[in-house]
Amino acid sequence: MTTTQQNAADYLAQISRKNTKQARILFFDREAFADNSKYLYLHMLKHYPQFEIV
């Protein structure tokens, strides 16, 4: 195997690795930051730091 082929194989192996996904929770609401989704969002931020709350 040539150096170029080895470099290509190494590159493909690197980009083919499985990435771990981060637990992410999304909240959607109207244009305003209000109502139930506001309080649920704030509660999740405070009590569930292991998740990425967006």
Cβ–Cβ under 8 Å, residues 52 and 22: yes
* Partners of residue 53 on adjacent β-strands: 25
Q: Is the pLDDT of residue 34 over 80?
A: no
Segment 1-8 shows an average pLDDT of: 89
List the structure tokens of 38. 């506001």
Cβ–Cβ under 8 Å, residues 39 and 11: no
Segment 17-25 shows an average pLDDT of: 80
Of 34, 54, 35, the closest CA to residue 44 belongs to 54
Q: Is the pLDDT of residue 28 over 90?
A: no
| Per-residue confidence band for 33, with pLDDT thresholds at 50, 70 and 90 | confident
**Whether this model's pTM surpasses 0.85:** no
